[in-house]
Structure 1
Amino acid sequence: MTVLRWDLGHRSVRDAEQWLASLPPVPGMVACTQLVRDDRPRVAITIAAPVKTELPSGGTSVADHGTGRAVIYPGVELLTGTMTVADLLAKSAIEKVTVIGGAAATTQTMLDTRAFVRPQWIDGVLTLVATPAPDGHIAPFEVPNPTPCCADHD
């Protein structure tokens, strides 16, 4: 699959995800967001899709998704509720789970998905970064509706 990159000037991850959600569904597509940190911070998008897929114009070819975080990927719609790591790996394109803080996740570790699973490309492997959660479970590190930094300050 060819990977294409769009830099449309999205100012937030939410804006980039809304643009991705407006695209027609394509089986096998992987779409990622990537933070661009330069004099004009923004969020770029990479998409890999089967060869004959109609994608918006303006994308430029790149080698891979870099360190992007996947928003659309095979199986994402199945990652709801609580499931074992083995189920997550079997049902989706995610290949690996790592837990912050050094705790190990086995295939039988329970994952509370929060219906919001955003894996990242780490060393070319689609990896879910998780954090310890109550009852010995783990949960995706990224939360669905994060509180903006300094939200409680005037």
Structure 2
Amino acid sequence: MTPPAAPYVLGIDTDARTLPEADRLLQVLAVELALPEGVFGCTHLVRDDRPRVALSLAAEAEPVLRTARDRLTARGYRIRDGAWDEAGRAVLYPGADRATGTLTLAELLARCAIDRVTVLGTPEAPSPDTLLDTRDHVRPHWQDGRLVLAAMPAAGGTLVPFEDPAPTPCCADH
């Protein structure tokens, strides 16, 4: 999960059990730590004897993460060098706050750090003028050093991000 322009990466062990919980924690920490715009913040599923969602922060400048490390350690977080894996799910990334509403794919790519959009079930790249209803929840993943958003077809020839902003837990009504 090392963005090419962000060689310094810090892993944060958490007790978060769900992606929404980890997203909220990452967003709160970004504000509390006063992280600058260029920092990437990702979630990582950890599947060991204590399943959880860990976090990572990546930045171009080492002092940004040194300060974050000191403050997070003082709060009791377990910190490590490097991300948990190379396929982090980005929550914080340059331009994430501008990836909202309904946009063409060209607009999305121009506004934020996402490098590419793929559409599930189709091998071709979507047209740059295709509309994407972001649902104000855009969570791209790192793939081969590039930030890629998986999308799926929606009504009226538009696309939506594959990840649902309000997923229904499996068997919720049983």
Q: TM-score scaled to structure 1, two decimals?
A: 0.92
State the 1:63 CA deviation. 6.3
Distance 2:14 2:160 in 1: 31
Aligned with 2:95 (options 75, 80, 105): 75
Paired amino acid for 1:14? P
> Identity percentage over the alignment?
48
Q: Does 1:107 align with 2:125?
A: no
State the 1:39 CA deviation. 2.3
Paired amino acid for 1:107? P
> Which one has the bigger helix percentage?
2
> Which one has the bigger strand percentage?
1
1:3–1:65: 8 Å Cα contact kept in structure 2? no
Deviates more, 1:89-98 or 1:3-12: 3-12
Deviates more, 1:68-77 or 1:98-107: 98-107
Paired amino acid for 1:67? A
State the 1:127 CA deviation. 0.2
1:65–1:121: 8 Å Cα contact kept in structure 2? no
Q: Does 1:62 align with 2:82?
A: yes
Distance 2:167 2:83 in 1: 31
The size of the alignment, in residue pairs, is 153
Deviates more, 1:140-149 or 1:104-113: 104-113
Paired amino acid for 1:32? C
> 1:34 matched to which residue of 2?
44
- Stretches of structure 1 lacking an aligned partner (at least 5 in a row): none
2:39–2:94: 8 Å Cα contact kept in structure 1? yes
Q: Does 1:137 align with 2:147?
A: no
2:46–2:84: 8 Å Cα contact kept in structure 1? no
Compared CA separation, residues 123 and 106, structure 1 to 2 (3 A): same
2:44–2:84: 8 Å Cα contact kept in structure 1? no
RMSD over equivalenced CA pairs, Å: 1.6
